[in-house]
Amino acid sequence: MSQVTSSYTYSDAIYGFHHPITIPYENSIQELAQYLLIKHDLPIYAKEALEINLKEFIEDRTKEYFQRTTHELINKARNHEINVDDIIKDWEKVMREEMVEFGEKKCASDEELFAIAYHKLVHSPALETMLQLEHMYSKTVREKTEEKNASIKKLSEKQSQEMNQAVDKLEKGMTESKINDLVAKHYETHSLLQGRLTSELDTIKEAQRREYREWIMQMVEQNQAISSLPAPRYLSPESFFFFVLNYLLSSPLTPPAFNAFTSNTHNRNMDNMNAGILEESFTIHLGSQLKQMHNIRILSANVMDLCTVQDAEELSEPTPQILQTALGLYSNDLSGLVLMTDNKIGSRLTQEFQEMCQRSTEFHFPHIDDQLNHISNEVQQYLKKNGGETNRNANSELLQPGDFYMTKHSNLAQVHVIFHIVSDDSLRGSDINSRHPVVLGLRHILKTACSNDVTSLTIPLLLQYDMTEDMTISWCEKRAELVFKCVKGFMIEMASWGGSDLKNLQFMLPQGISHAVFASLTEMLPRIFKESNPKILK
């Protein structure tokens, strides 16, 4: 269907502007009104009148468009100007692209086949063995990572000692030129060593990834072949376990000491990790007529602890969080986390997160560096193409507060999707409101989560990860009230957005927050959200 562009004009005694609108308009009028309010710096009280005017304008222009299009088609039919063959080709194209039974028969890609195979095995008796295999792969990667870090540290200490000796000899024949040469030599040696060790580690990860994926496909094929025999009990969980055990013992990518299958010593480590975490849970109902039930949790923790997998050296078995991640990986019940970052993709603020992702092999998705590079390239192309329309610098990777990008993971403890939202220093102030770009960015994150089967989401309640002296009790209460009310409004909107329901919402507070502030915020939550209190009839 062809489209036309109409110029919408808004004016009153003070304000006036023009904005082009494509007819038919298929997006949200409310979002368009909010965009125009921000772009043209209009007062908030003009929003209601602006929405009404926009709705009337779009309806009138849409009616005119279809009337004009209809008259043109009728006149062409009367004058025998319509090409029936072109119409048939258009219908054929639509039927082929929109309906499965008429579409082109394409083979599933390797990624789709692997996803199907993994999902089938992960919901079978093979689950425990799969997790053990991943665990031993992770142990190998961490051992190599520790060796890499130790080698780099040893070289740095040696170079530091050489530099100190050179400086001490500055008045005894050592010149500044020689010191500069020594610095250049140290930098080159350090870069070569780091590059070589990183390359070796990446090679191990790629070999593990390839071997693991081949193993999964072989197990599915073997399972299907055996299931077709008269006695399917041939592939019992015990025989399957010992088959994989022999396979692992013969693999060069796993550690030689493979005696970790029978120990349960990781329980004490889990207890240590959970010690000192403040948390409170609620069940609430939201909605005007058809109410939806949601689970809300508020807790105090380090954001990295929510997705960190404990060191394989300390654990002899995979943690329950890894089990949860595996079961929900290819499902419509994903878990997400909102991670605050700055306006440069892959900056130092996310360095700790990137290092955590690199502690083990990513078997299902591109590694974190590859994902960030791809996102950076996409942003560059977008800015070059639309830089004039967005008033952004087309020659930089810088984003604006409220923008966010997503990365997906299978090697984190409790998270499948990370929403990296751009923030700035204005969040440290106390005068932000519901129109702040980061708050509006949270709305878009919730909308994206509902559209992509993310049913559990963790949000930093104070939009900060660390407590500072400026964050008084009144500051925390004011910030928490703003986020509570905005998120509640966004969740009510979700009913009209469609997609999945956000079943579990987790508000995270900085680690080390006082018990008094935590208690104050937990008392505030049920006042803002309607807590579910069942009535007992006697």
Residue 268 has pLDDT above 60, yes or no: no
Confidence of residue 287 (pLDDT cuts 50, 70, 90): low
Report whether 471 contacts 464 (CB < 8 A).
yes
Instruction: Report the candidate in 235, 234, 219 with the shortest Cα–Cα distance to residue 133.
Output: 219
Rounded Cα–Cα distance for residues 428 and 417 (Å): 26
Q: What is the pLDDT of residue 5?
A: 60
320 shares its domain with 462? yes
User: 168-172, 187-191, 473-477: which has the minimum mean pLDDT?
Assistant: 168-172
Residue 495 has pLDDT above 60, yes or no: yes
323 shares its domain with 461? yes
Residue 259 has pLDDT above 50, yes or no: no
Counting the structural domains of the chain, the total is 3
30 shares its domain with 118? no
| For range 465-491, the mean pLDDT | 89
Q: What is the pLDDT of residue 12?
A: 59
Q: Which of 60-64, 93-97, 161-165, 494-498 has the highest mean pLDDT?
A: 60-64
Structure tokens at 138: 């992770």
Residue 167 within a domain: yes
Q: What is the pLDDT of residue 444?
A: 93
13 shares its domain with 156? no
User: 108-112, 184-188, 251-255, 315-319: which has the minimum mean pLDDT?
Assistant: 251-255
Structure tokens at 58: 């779009």
133 shares its domain with 86? no
Residue at a domain's end among 77, 102, 127: 102
Residue 197 within a domain: yes
Residue 483 has pLDDT above 90, yes or no: yes
Residue 369 within a domain: no
**For the segment 67-85, what is each residue's pLDDT rounded down to a tens digit?**
998 988 888 888 887 777 8
Q: Long-range contacts made by residues 312-315, C-beta under 8 angstroms, separation at least 24?
A: 312/135, 312/136, 312/138, 312/139, 312/142, 313/139, 313/142, 313/143, 314/266, 314/269, 315/135, 315/265, 315/266, 315/269
Structural domain harbouring 222? 113-249
CATH number of the domain at 437, please.
3.40.220.10
Residue 392 has pLDDT above 50, yes or no: yes
Residue 275 has pLDDT above 50, yes or no: no
Instruction: Report the candidate in 411, 405, 404 with the shortest Cα–Cα distance to residue 307.
Output: 411
Residue at a domain's end among 102, 124, 157: 102
319 shares its domain with 447? yes
420 shares its domain with 517? yes
In terms of C-beta density within 10 A (0-12 exposed, 13-18 middle, 19 or more buried), how is residue 138 classed? buried
Residue 505 within a domain: yes
Confidence of residue 192 (pLDDT cuts 50, 70, 90): very high
89 shares its domain with 197? no
* 325: Cβ contacts below 8 Å, ≥ 6 apart: 335, 410, 412, 413, 414, 415, 416
120 shares its domain with 95? no
290 shares its domain with 412? yes
Residue 372 within a domain: no
Residue 262 within a domain: no
Residue 260 within a domain: no
Instruction: Report the candidate in 508, 521, 150, 479 with the shortest Cα–Cα distance to residue 304.
Output: 508
Rounded Cα–Cα distance for residues 131 and 326 (Å): 8
Which residue do the tokens 């005119």 mark? 64
Residue 145 within a domain: yes
Report whether 422 contacts 401 (CB < 8 A).
yes
**For the segment 148-174, what is each residue's pLDDT rounded down to a tens digit?**
989 999 999 998 888 888 887 776 767
Structure tokens at 506: 């987790």
436 shares its domain with 464? yes
127 shares its domain with 92? no
What value, to the nearest 5°, has the Cα angle with vertex 74 and ends 69 and 78? 150
| For range 238-262, the mean pLDDT | 45
Residue with more model confidence, 183 or 254: 183
Specify the pTM: 0.70
Q: What is the pLDDT of residue 253?
A: 47
